[in-house]
Amino acid sequence: MSQPISIRQQSSVAKTSCLHCSLSNLCLPLALDDSDLSQLDEVVSRDRVFSRGELIFSQSTPFRSCFAVKSGAVKTSIITESGDEQITGFFMPGELVGLDSMSDEAHASTAKALERTNVCEIPVDRLEELVHVLPGLQHHLFHLMSQEIRNSHQLSVLLSKNTAEERIAALLLSLSSRFKRRKLSSTHFNLPMARNDIANFLGLAVETVSRVFTRFQNQGLIRARGRDIELLELEALQVMALGNSQP
């Protein structure tokens, strides 16, 4: 499902050029014109497929490439010195993974496919060269990286200020808007990640996540059967996600 549109639809995997990839407006929005895109096209290795649970790259290994998610979903996590995992992000089609290691020797995090996932590999040395000649691309990369910083700051806010219910409402809404951006249903979708991953990402215990899901369901806010989620009351969830700091 949600296969990028391609000119020559060959085999099960679409060999799309950047120029014709339906995700290009997410992965590399506006900034680039057609001639720029075709230059980028040449440095990208397409059609790298990972099945559920496979590592795309892992922490402390040499950093060579960024990856654009084409289909499926990816989680990134870091292993702390004390040995436990902290998920730092979920990446959906059209999003760029690996920016936290840009211009660094080694990967700062580990990326794992949450389901069968198709990515485009973008070698950084080639990318950095290309950036020299394409001002638009440079600007765009700065933009993506700063967005990544802001995302992480948002996560910090969530973790330090919000209750379990607020965190989960916020995550559901974030996923919702990302599905919407891809022209998919914003109210009915499949969670790519397990409850465990949600808990880890949001700094909660799995049990708490489970409890909140059933509570939301009892309140009529969502309908959840396993990973199949339907958002019934978007407004109510939005209100909840904001939190009740000073009413």
Partner DNA sequence: CGTAGGTTTGAGTCGGGTCAAGAAATGTGG
Partner DNA sequence: CCACATTTCTTGACCCGACTCAAACCTACG
Which pair of tokens denotes residue 36?
């720029």
Partner touching 136 among DNA, a copy of itself, none, CB below 5 to 8 Å by kind:
none
From a copy of itself, DNA, none, interface partner of 34 (C-beta below 5 to 8 A by class): none
DSSP string for residues in 71-113: ES-EEEEEE-TTS-EEEEEEE-TT-EE-GGGTT-SB-SSEEEE
Cα separation of the two ends of the chain = 43
Site string for DNA, 146-175 (x = CB under 7 A): -----------------xxx----------
Count the Cβ atoms, other than its own, within 10 Å of residue 56: 23
User: Of 225, 235, 246, 247, which lies in the binding site for DNA, with binding defined by CB under 7 A?
Assistant: 225
Q: Which does 82 bind (CB under 5 to 8 A by kind): a copy of itself, DNA, none?
A: a copy of itself
Residue listed under structure tokens 């933009």: 143
Q: Find the binder of DNA among 203, 232, 233, 236 (CB under 7 A).
A: 203
Residue 196 sits in the site that holds DNA (CB under 7 A): yes
Check binding of 201 to DNA (CB under 7 A).
Answer: no
Helix (H) or strand (E) holding 222: strand 222-225
Residues of this chain that interact with a copy of itself (CB under 8 A) are 78, 80-84, 86, 88, 99-104, 108-109, 128, 131-132, 135, 138-143, 145-150, 152-153, 155-157, 159-161, 202-203, 242-246
Name the residue nearer to DNA (CB basis): 99 or 212.
Answer: 212
Residue 51 CB, nearest approach to DNA (Å): 10
The Cα 24–Cα 128 span in angstroms is: 19
Q: Which is nearer to DNA, 136 or 203 (CB)?
A: 203
Closest listed residue to residue 239, CA positions, set 170, 155, 150, 154: 170
- List the Cα angle 113/178/197 in 5-degree steps: 40
Q: Which is nearer to a copy of itself, 52 or 139 (CB)?
A: 139
Integer Cα distance of 146 and 181 in angstroms: 20
Beta pairing class for 74-79 and 110-113: antiparallel
In whole angstroms, the minimum distance from the beta carbon of 74 to a copy of itself comes to: 15
227 binds, among DNA, a copy of itself, none (CB under 5 to 8 A by kind): DNA
Q: Which parts of this chain interact with DNA (CB under 7 A)?
A: 163-165, 194-196, 203-211, 213-214, 224-227
